């Protein structure tokens, strides 16, 4: 399962808390509050989906490379 930004060690469960606290629905806005997603950027489609759906665990998307290792 994809559960975090692997490059920055940020779990989606942490990221969503910050998003909720600041009422954020865009990845770029979330990056102003917490450092993630600046390296391989493979977590981006998952973070975008998280902001849309509130989900924090994802089956790897078929057309996206999986970020780093698996939990
Ligand atoms: S997994 Fe988020 S930048 Fe690489």
What tokens appear for 62 in the block? 């078929």
Per DSSP (E only), the strands in 1-71 are 4-5, 10-11
Query: For residues 39 and 64, which has the higher predicted lDDT (pLDDT)?
Result: 39
pLDDT band, very low/low/confident/very high, at 41 (cuts 50, 70, 90):
very high
pLDDT band, very low/low/confident/very high, at 38 (cuts 50, 70, 90):
very high
* Ligand 1 pocket test target in 43, 50, 61, 71 with most atoms within 8 Å of CB: 43
**Ligand 1 center to 17 CA (angstroms):** 18
pLDDT (0 to 100) of residue 66: 78
């Amino acid at each position: 399962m994809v559960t975090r930004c692997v490059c920055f060690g940020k779990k989606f469960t942490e990221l969503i808390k910050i998003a909720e606290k600041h009422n954020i629905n865009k990845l770029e806005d979330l990056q102003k509050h917490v450092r993630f997603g600046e390296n391989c950027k493979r977590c981006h489609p998952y973070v975008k989906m998280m902001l849309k759906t509130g989900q924090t665990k994802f089956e790897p998307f078929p057309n996206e490379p999986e970020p780093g290792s698996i939990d």
